[in-house]
Amino acid sequence: MRSRTDSRRPSRVDAFPARATRGVEHALSYSWWLRIADNIHGFADRKQWGEDVAPLQDRPWVYRLCYTYTENLERLRCSHRDRLAPIVAELHEVWQRLHDADRRLTQLRDSSIGEVSDGVRGRGEAHLDSGAVQSRRIREHGRRQAAHDARAAAVETERDALVVRAAELRSLLEEQHQFLIETAHRLHGYYSRRLGTYARRQGPRVGEFSAALTMPEWVDEPCPWLPSELVEDLAA
């Protein structure tokens, strides 16, 4: 008989670090009971403090909403960073291998196996005429050249595969960064709605909430998981 533990369905967040187990998706649904809570606190605060008090952002309920908004943004950013850490590590590894492949390819292209050697006879070739010896040297040179070209072609194929993989990883990270920004905007919109519900119970001072929530600076910054030197190399 299966135990309750065995039959437990795996959580969607089991693969995430402990600090990221609180899913921000759940906070995006503005349920009726949250609306009631925001309205009740709005009415209660206006009745308790009226309109001639310190900035409304200092009131406990407003502070709580703003703090939770900031906390969820940080959890969102950390969960993405931790979840994408293996991809970032792979991109760094691919980048290093790409540099190594470039170095080896340059060395192979700059190296030379030399010209066809003269027809000096070696041991066991005393019975051959000069034409036969020269033909043998040409064939030997051709085999060395073919082996050299094959090594260069193999390194070039490896390099091309690394370039493709690096571009794929870069594209994935940039796509996840864009998703992170879009989710941050959704969180901002959600908490702005909640503050708006509260503010409508505060009379003419609604305008003071316009600066209560701010977007984090990282929404206007480039993808943080791509070091600048790596971006420059991939762009080239």
pLDDT recorded at residue 128: 56
Judge whether residue 55 has pLDDT over 50. Answer: yes
Rounded alpha-carbon distances, angstroms, from residue 20 to 71, 75, 96: 11, 6, 30
Judge whether residue 14 has pLDDT over 70. Answer: no
- As a whole number of angstroms, the distance between CA 201 and CA 140 comes to 93
Q: Count structural domains, the chain.
A: 1
Q: Look up residue 133 and give its two tokens.
A: 């010896």
- Which domain, by its residues, includes 163? 40-118+129-235
Judge whether residue 36 has pLDDT over 80. Answer: yes
Query: 176-232 pLDDT, tens per residue?
Result: 999 999 999 999 989 988 888 888 877 665 555 656 788 899 999 888 888 666 666
Residue 160 lies in a domain: yes
Cα–Cα–Cα angle for 47, 49, 55, nearest 5°? 130
Lowest mean pLDDT among 50-59, 112-121, 166-175: 112-121
Residue 213 lies in a domain: yes
Tell me which residue has tokens 């209560």. Answer: 212
pLDDT recorded at residue 87: 92
Residue 63 lies in a domain: yes
- As a whole number of angstroms, the distance between CA 2 and CA 22 comes to 29
Residue 173 lies in a domain: yes
Residue 224 lies in a domain: yes
Query: 71-88 pLDDT, tens per residue?
Result: 999 999 999 999 999 999
Mean pLDDT comparison of 3-7, 136-140, 156-160, highest-scoring range: 156-160
Judge whether residue 108 has pLDDT over 70. Answer: yes
pLDDT recorded at residue 71: 93
Q: Look up residue 125 and give its two tokens.
A: 């070739």
Judge whether residue 26 has pLDDT over 80. Answer: no
Please report, rounded to a whole number, the percentage of residues in the chain having pLDDT higher than 70: 64
- As a whole number of angstroms, the distance between CA 46 and CA 134 comes to 104
> Taking Cα atoms as reference points, which of 32, 52, 41 lies closest to residue 198?
41
Q: Output phi, psi for 224, to 5 deg.
A: -75, -10
pLDDT recorded at residue 124: 52
Judge whether residue 18 has pLDDT over 70. Answer: no
Residue 109 lies in a domain: yes
Tell me which residue has tokens 């001639």. Answer: 52
- As a whole number of angstroms, the distance between CA 70 and CA 223 comes to 20
